[in-house]
A and B are shown apart, each in its own frame.
Chain A
Amino acid sequence: MSAYEKVLLARAKDRPTGLSYIENIFEDFVELHGDRRFADDPAIVGGIATLNGRPVTVIAMDKGKDMRERVKRNFGSSNPEGYRKALRLMEQAEKFHRPVICFVDTAGAFCGMGAEERGQGQAIAENLVAMAGLKTPIVSVLIGEGGSGGALALAVADRVWILENAVYSVISPEGCASILWKDSKKVKDAAECLRLTAQDMMELGVVEQVIPEEKEFSQTYAHIQEELEATLEQLSALPVEELLEQRYQRFRKF
């Protein structure tokens, strides 16, 4: 399969969205809204749930399942208030010693006027710094599109996993083709050159594991659930300083 075919798979409309992961992997989910600053951004869903009895904070980017939902959730492209809501929930998790689990799926942070007026860059920057030092375990799973800084804002984690047919990139192949070669037809070449597939991520050391996508997707959820349980067990046993030092080194190597 070519890199561009992978991009199309990662964007496929019938792909499970962030909320499906929350519903199928966790129990007792209570959704919490708003950034306490400006608004609630439906492009990012967050709240508290249990993972096999353990309370956790879950945050998921969600593109929406049907047209109405997609419009409501801005096709999964968050505004600053989405990142600020995520940050609020992460700091809440830190206070109550809950691990944080993020599901990442976005073409990128939203590029609108309001987003700029309200500090899109500042919101992402703040999340990166906060996550680098958050005193509780963080696991991020790239489930579809990992679009640049807008994706990284939920992916500075102790473990980063990626689904078999998900992608992660600094720029969309379309953007890359039009900027570098002034030719949007070169999208396929750009996708190849950017090295954005799950397999590339594994080779480049950007992720710890690739999650296979089973035909019966419930098996994939079950697999993620098992992996999360084992990993949180492991990470929660670490002293906080050790956890943070390992997280620092994880990103220091690039």
Chain B
Amino acid sequence: MGLFRSPQNELEKGGKPVPEEDAGIRTACPHCGAQLPLSELQDNLQVCTACGYHFRIGPRDRIVYLVDEESFSELYGDMKSRDVLSFPGYDQKLRNAKLASREKEGVVCGTAQVGGEACALFVMDPNFMMGSMGTVVGEKITRLFEYATEQGLPVVGFTVSGGARMQEGILSLMQMAKTSAAVRKHSDAGNFYLTVLTDPTTGGVTASFAMDGDIIMAEPGATIGFAGARVIEQTIRKKLPQGFQKAEFLLEHGFVDLITPRTEQRETIGKLLRLHRKGGKA
């Protein structure tokens, strides 16, 4: 007798072959409901092929979609937040966020090349406490700007944030001042800063480095604002109109330079970096 007995039924034989049209995993688009084969969605950089809805994505995917192959080198990747104010429940929240995002904090920083152009890059993470800005997020972004100033590098920053991290109290508010001052030094030295606002960019991040870019790009349909929609509705006791605080609304009101679909970002960002190349022809 051999080590394995022969298959006794259909399942043990490996099951019935899956009909061609059902092959692969499908994801429903939260916007239009289309059933999208996962491979197709991923090939399209997680933008719905039916309606153009941009799925929320983490920093590692973004980096893969954006930078030249093998060009990303991470900086400050070991920094972790501590519960400095002994805020109830914060330790647990941090643990959950690390599990949910598989990252140590809410922003990934590094250097990379986009279309052959070198830049410093930061990408915030919607899966880490909705990209809220605490001392470590502020510190990593500040260090990146200081590094870029030293090296004369442009900065490309993808923002996604619910705002300041209230579990760090006033120290999270101070991050707005700290990052803004670092942006200012980078800018005064004649360096280029491009922000890409993705869904959602709100609160203290909108009110600091998100809106500081020399050029401000937005992803289609992204919610971008200072106050949250619910807070505004409570303040004015009215429902907000459709499309309020969307990227297209900000473009119309003059607060973003351009809206660029994810599938075109690599090319457009590469071009903008090239147009800001120092001391020579673009």
Q: Classify the secondary structure of A's interface with B.
A: helix
Using a Cβ–Cβ cut-off of 8 Å, how many residues does chain A contribute to the interface with B? 48
Q: Which residues in window 204-254 of A have CB below 8 A to B?
A: 204, 206, 247-248, 251-252, 254
Residue interface bits A119-144, CB-to-B below 8 A is 1, else 0? 11110111011001100000000000
Contact B173 A149 (CB under 8 A): yes
A193 pairs with B207, CB closer than 8 A? no
Q: Does A31 contact B (CB under 8 A)?
A: no
Contact A117 B85 (CB under 8 A): no
The answer to whether B71 has its CB under 8 Å from any CB of chain A is no
Q: Does A112 contact B (CB under 8 A)?
A: yes
Task: Mark contacts of A180-191 with chain B using CB atoms, 8 A cut-off: 1 yes-contact digit, 0 otherwise.
Answer: 100000000100
Interface residues contributed by chain B, number (CB under 8 Å): 53
Max chain A C-beta neighbours (<10 A), residue from B89, B206, B226, B227: B226
B138, A115: Cβ atoms under 8 Å?
no
Contacts of B158-213 to chain A: CB distance below 8 A: 164, 166, 168-178, 180-185, 187-188, 202-204, 206-212
Of A15-23, A97-105, A164-172, the one with at least 4 CB within 8 A of chain B: A164-172
Tell whether A156 is near chain B: CB-to-CB under 8 Å: yes
Please determine whether A170 and B173 come into contact, CB atoms closer than 8 angstroms. yes
Which of these, A155, A179, A200, A254, contacts B166 with CB under 8 Å? A179
CA distance A33 to B254 in the complex (A): 24
B85 touches A195 (CB 8 A): yes
Interface contacts beyond A120-B225, A126-B211, A248-B185: sample of 20 additional A-B pairs, CB < 8 Å, sorted by A? A109-B227, A111-B232, A112-B232, A117-B253, A121-B206, A121-B210, A125-B209, A128-B207, A132-B181, A148-B204, A149-B207, A153-B207, A169-B170, A170-B169, A170-B170, A171-B166, A189-B88, A201-B170, A248-B181, A254-B138
Q: State the A residues within 8 Å of B (CB).
A: 109-113, 115-122, 124-126, 128-129, 132-133, 148-149, 152-153, 155-156, 168-171, 175-176, 179-180, 189, 193-196, 200-201, 204, 206, 247-248, 251-252, 254
By Cβ-Cβ distance, the 6 closest A-B pairs, closest first, are A121-B206, A111-B227, A128-B180, A121-B226, A254-B174, A132-B181
